Structure 1
């Protein structure tokens, strides 16, 4: 929503404004009273009381240059006119002639930080006795009251936003500790079991050491994901080392080979056609691709192929990974790229739930996008990166 639209809503949330306009109209006899937002080149009515058919309602705008409120904003002083025709300053002013009024009052409204919000203003086609201590004091009080309400509402919204952030951070901390404790314990237990087995059966050393090495690699991968999560969440985003001459096709083929080696029963079909270099952080793109490919193998229909496509089209690098299988549930779509989100998979394949989050962070760091489309037949993750932005 546009900022000025938000201001209208903010005034609308102050119940006292309607009463203030009624009191001002009754006290002064003025036929049109308004709280106006005056900002930049715009004058917009936030709340009005119109008994003379002036024709301006809440949300309507006037050319700010044609209003005296514009001068109030510039000089930060109220303007009070009892009778335009007898006023030395405004008797020849274009605004009263344009809007056909003889009496006018406009009081500036300030927020608690001293910034100018707009005015509490009123006009009438008849002369009115306005420049009195009572009316000036009442308008000043009403303007201060409106400014105080606006500032209080902003403070309340900021406090609520901070509270939501704190709750989200607390939830993330709880998830982080719980998931980390669970997922690091598994490979650690495997290593401990391996050491016990070696003590009892040293002759099985080669096989046991191979299993222990895989557990160490899994722990290293988990720790790398944790570090990337910390950088992305708390450190201002992932850092990149852009190389303008990356031969990316070989890197992608290497990632495919690694995933094939650990998933020999799951075919992977590749259509990689990258005739030119792709400026990027090769290690990060490889990490993102690996996360997407492993995710596709994990969640795709067993023994059905995963399809990989990479190309440069209209100065955009595109990389997609598609797996066959059931559609992602609608309730899960909005959480796929959130940290610690983990779909229902086999326990042996369960991870920290950071793979897609980190993939999305890598895409964003490259000035690209990572999108997902899912139907009853297939799910496709697509990374697009305009080459000129890297």
Structure 2
């Protein structure tokens, strides 16, 4: 696509949550058209759209900015919310509703971290709708803020990559990247998770409930990706992975991981056997993360109709294995499997950054353990082993 806003279109397309956001906006409000638009003083360009009313706009589609109410949002830097155009004192005679044939409308500004105006999250419908309430306005503001944070983080990362000239610059930019992920992404992600929980308690139809469940799954996945990258940055900066071992029971948390993965992938069969009869001195959250990453990897690189197996036991040492059916991992890939950003052969369904197995190896090392893999045409098996007792720091 040749378009002078292609970089903005690509940036919005790179945010996986945007289609879900637009679908949820339409489901919750009843508005048939929702979009993310780039708005400047003289341009209005559609970057992403959910069009159920047949306006005919797609990504890259453009309207004359002076014919849009988003133009006024850009000038005032404030949201516009209209329940019923015909009964609205300010907009009953406005040219825009008459031109595009809508009666309900909402447009929320999207700002970047430096305060600059990027565009709008907007929606409209030919019929009136009840939009002037804290729930709808708060949802739009939350989604607009999340989009702005993603855009700003992507720009910072792109700038960082362009300026990686030497080791000192790389370390400085990695620290900046950690700050972006640790503050600019985790806080809004917590907000969107809270907002999703609030939406889930609203009266919704089955399709909307399904979309809310999809959003909840996405926030969990996004949180895991953020933690992976933060751990990678810490490792590269020499700070090492945080490690808080205890003797608390490990099995309940491992079962929780399996249950969560079953809920996230209801179409997959995951079988688990636990024989943890002795105490394990380990960081429970890190071991849970290790299992989650191994399970995610197994699901991504195996056929949907095949089961995935989890085995954990304490016979002589603590051993945790994840087994899946599927093609053997090529020898060339095995040699670098635990390096960052490495993926196996493309199966068309894997997601993430290629950091999962690297994080697994770091967790294994932090526990004084090992992570091994064997792969044949019958099965692929990842096995983590560690001593049952790691010397705890002595009390002083």
After TM superposition, the score normalised by the length of structure 2 is: 0.48
More helix by share: 1
Larger radius of gyration: 1
